[in-house]
Amino acid sequence: MVKCINKSKDFILADAHQEILDEYVYEFLKNEEQAVLGKVHIFDKVYKPILEKQGVNVVNMSVGGDHVAQVMYSATDKFRFWDAHKKLDVLNSELEAGCNSFVLCRNAEDIDYAIENEKIAIIATLVGGKPLEGKPNLNLLSSLRSLYRMGLRGLQLTGNTRNRLGDGIAQTRTKGKLTGFGREVVSECDRLGIVIDTAQLSDYGFFDLIEQTDNPVIDSHSCAKAVFNHPRNISDERIKAIAQEGGVLAVSFWAALVAGDKEQAHVDDLLKHIDHIVKIAGIDHIALGPDYCAYKTPVNREVVKGFANLGPDFCKMNRLTPVQSEKYPGWIDGIWYGIKKSDFIEGPNCHEKFSNVIDILLNHGYSKNDCRKILGQNLIRVYKQVL
């Protein structure tokens, strides 16, 4: 059983945005023959201890998308579907081999079952629609349906940049709405029961989407532009539109989004975003999407320049080194995030410190009932409604 480190069982904790840990996938592939036979459960060995320390019950887990940081994960566009397929196969193979510490949730009943039985509820999602793209002259919905059959239940339409579904926020000057293929994907997501994630989508694409979809949407990891004006943050108008449709905005813990004008963003800065969103959208439409780093990056970038050819053991990698573009430090997909000592706010700055947010919210004056909604109930409500 998963022994979460929540201060009490009064709270169900949900992480609205977490990339699948690369060390988990690495370790599975290295031990694949043993893992598929159930002789070793790599999830229990590598991933479960981290999630236990994080204290989470529900994880919206990215299994691929527009941007893949690791060379091992195939850094060319034509392999994005392969990458997502591989990661979903890892999760399914672990379950088929008898690993029972998590549930790959396909419907609302799976979420309830996981929580009631103290297992980790995983919602598999894509962070950008490039894995759904077909040949250059052909877009079909077959890739979406194939991944759905493997357990995909969430789709963030774009990253910061452009794909065949629409434009991300780094392409706002084009004023592009969803493409024809993007609208087809949205309709199919509504039909199948896939939660649509609007994080990083341009404003033009966002409002086009809101007019089309019949379901509530989420934004899995953004902050309020009115509190700090960063390109990745969203306007009050957009926050209100999410709430009016019954959706949820999950607040990011990235320092650049929370208070990028400061040398080190503090948890008090995060609370300003939470207070603002509650004020304009209501307590039922906010959650937490910390976006903790899942990638092992080299501790000393100068020493291991070109580390991709050397391997993770040589490079002394960890998950705490700031994630930056190797070519243009401080930039990610055309958006300036800055160069900081840590990518995250001071305090709950990594998986292992996430559950501290319970006391932070309580000490700030939120009631236990309000905290239950922020920490998990709101996000779970949307997933159960759509799935």
- pLDDT tens digit sequence for 26-49: 899 999 999 999 999 999 999 999
pLDDT exceeds 80 at position 260 = yes
Residue 360 lies in a domain: yes
The secondary structure of 141-188 as a DSSP string is SHHHHHHHHTTEEEEE---SSB-SS-BBGGGGGG-----HHHHHHHHH
Crossing angle of the two packed helices 203-212 and 236-244, in degrees rounded to 10: 20
Q: What CATH number should be reported for the domain holding residue 359?
A: 3.20.20.140
Residue 64 lies in a domain: yes
Count of domains observed in the chain: 1
Q: Contact, 2 vs 49, CB < 8 A?
A: no
pLDDT exceeds 50 at position 236 = yes
Residue 219 lies in a domain: yes
Q: Give me the pLDDT at residue 78, please.
A: 64
Alpha helices in the chain (DSSP H): 22-30, 32-36, 42, 48-54, 80-96, 108-116, 142-149, 180-192, 203-212, 236-244, 255-259, 267-281, 312-315, 357-364, 368-372, 378-386
Closest CA to 254 of 220, 298, 206: 220
Going 207 to 162 to 26 to 356, the CA torsion angle's sign is: negative
Q: Average pLDDT, whole number, for the chain?
A: 89
Show the domain range for 86. 14-294+344-386
Residue 151 lies in a domain: yes
Residue 337 lies in a domain: no
Residue 1 lies in a domain: no
Residue 190 lies in a domain: yes
What is d(CA 76, CA 66) in angstroms, rounded to the nearest whole number? 10
Residue 115: other Cβ atoms inside 10 A: 18
pLDDT digit string (tens) for 138-181? 899 999 999 999 999 999 999 998 999 999 999 988 899 999 99
Residue 311 lies in a domain: no
Six-digit token string for 231:
């390109």
The pTM of the full predicted model, rounded to 2 decimals, is 0.91
- Give exposure, 267-282, as e/b (b: 16+ Cβ within 10 Å): bebbbbbbbbbbeebe
pLDDT exceeds 70 at position 73 = no
